[in-house]
């Protein structure tokens, strides 16, 4: 087992984060699993891996500082950071208030920024480390009625790529993982903007249709373990990919959308959610 096996993971209490923490534990990693809702402590006797829960909110910098300090006090290093915490808010752009848009970015984008900021000095001094950020296929395909979710995930992708350039000199690698539809608690926990719930909304019919299609695709999407395996595969690589898209279907979609004109791409997306 590689000695560089101390993992700091956010959003670890459910969904993709939970699946990833458990898979890494089963492969001998020590995973500090941080979330607002405390995860379960686990140990795998055969691999000697473990999950150590930490209560933390990625939008609360003091709680991040405390979590990182606890890991460093116990382990003296952080080898792998996986920024996975996120949420989704649905509603037309017109019906999303600035406060609601900021709420979306606070977790998905600035939550990632906050955690990375705390860990970068450690990895820079170690002259080693791997950082995995979780974006989404929605980060390059604009999803109607989840525009701010798409925008926040696009921001994570660019942030990760820029970080990859800057941290190369310190032997710190960065990989942005872009999952497609996945069967997780994300569907049930999706929030809706206040204005979108008004009986007078001009977008109700198309929004409800689009979100119902999203929910169907999510509940029939990839299993979290499939995405977790892609993350483990990147961690094990000597040189991680800059961007990783789990699943042959989504790799093909990504390739196809890069070839077609933007106007045609938007036409296809509109038809998919209509």
Backbone region of residue 137 per phi and psi (left: phi > 0; alpha: psi in -120 to 50; beta: other values): alpha
Q: Determine the average pLDDT of the residues in 251-269.
A: 91
Q: Determine the average pLDDT of the residues in 219-242.
A: 94
Catalytic residue among 13, 136, 164, 228: 13
Confidence of residue 182 (pLDDT cuts 50, 70, 90): confident
Q: Say how far apart CA 252 and CA 201 lie, in whole Å.
A: 36
Catalytic residue among 35, 135, 136, 228: 135
Domain boundaries, the chain: 6-272
pLDDT of residue 1: 44
Confidence of residue 261 (pLDDT cuts 50, 70, 90): very high
| Known active-site residue 102 | no
What percent of the chain has pLDDT above 90?
A: 83
Dihedral angle sign, alpha carbons of residues 176, 18, 10, 193? positive
Domain at 6-272: CATH code: 3.40.50.720
| Known active-site residue 135 | yes
| Known active-site residue 153 | yes
Confidence of residue 3 (pLDDT cuts 50, 70, 90): low
Catalytic residue among 136, 153, 157, 196: 153
What percent of the chain has pLDDT above 70?
A: 99
Residues 6 or more apart in contact with residue 26 via CB below 8 angstroms? 44, 47, 49
Catalytic residue among 32, 145, 149, 203: 149
Q: Determine the average pLDDT of the residues in 214-224.
A: 87
Q: Give alpha helix (H) positions in 59-203.
A: 61-75, 98-108, 110-126, 147-167, 186-189
Residue 123: exposed, middle, or buried by beta-carbon count in 10 A (0-12, 13-18, 19+)?
buried
The span from the first CA to the last CA of the chain, in angstroms, equals 49
| Known active-site residue 13 | yes
Q: Please say if the pLDDT value at position 164 is more than 60.
A: yes
């Amino acid at each position: 087992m590689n000695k560089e096996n101390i993992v700091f993971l956010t959003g670890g209490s459910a969904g993709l984060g939970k699946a990833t923490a458990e898979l890494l534990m089963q492969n001998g990693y020590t995973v500090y699993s941080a979330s607002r809702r405390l995860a379960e402590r686990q140990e795998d006797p055969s691999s000697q891996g473990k999950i150590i829960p930490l209560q933390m909110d990625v939008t609360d910098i003091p709680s991040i500082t405390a979590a990182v300090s606890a890991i460093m006090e116990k382990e003296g290093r952080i080898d792998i950071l996986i920024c996975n915490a996120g949420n989704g808010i649905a509603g037309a752009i017109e019906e999303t208030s600035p406060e609601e848009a900021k709420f979306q970015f606070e977790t998905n984008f600035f939550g990632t920024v906050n955690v990375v900021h705390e860990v970068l000095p450690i990895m820079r001094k170690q002259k080693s480390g791997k950082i995995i950020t979780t974006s989404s296929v929605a980060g390059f395909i604009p999803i109607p009625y989840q525009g701010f979710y798409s925008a926040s995930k696009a921001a994570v992708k660019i942030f990760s790529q820029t970080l990859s350039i800057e941290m190369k000199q310190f032997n710190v690698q960065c990989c942005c993982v872009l999952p497609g539809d996945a069967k997780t608690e994300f569907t049930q926990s999706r929030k809706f903007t206040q204005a979108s719930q008004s009986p007078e909304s001009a977008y109700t019919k198309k929004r409800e249709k689009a979100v119902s299609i999203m929910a169907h695709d999510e509940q029939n999407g990839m299993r979290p373990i499939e995405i977790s395996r892609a993350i483990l595969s990147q961690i094990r690589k000597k040189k991680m990919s800059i961007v990783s898209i789990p699943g042959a279907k989504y790799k093909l979609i990504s390739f196809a959308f890069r070839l077609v004109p933007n106007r045609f791409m938007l036409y296809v997306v509109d038809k998919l959610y209509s």
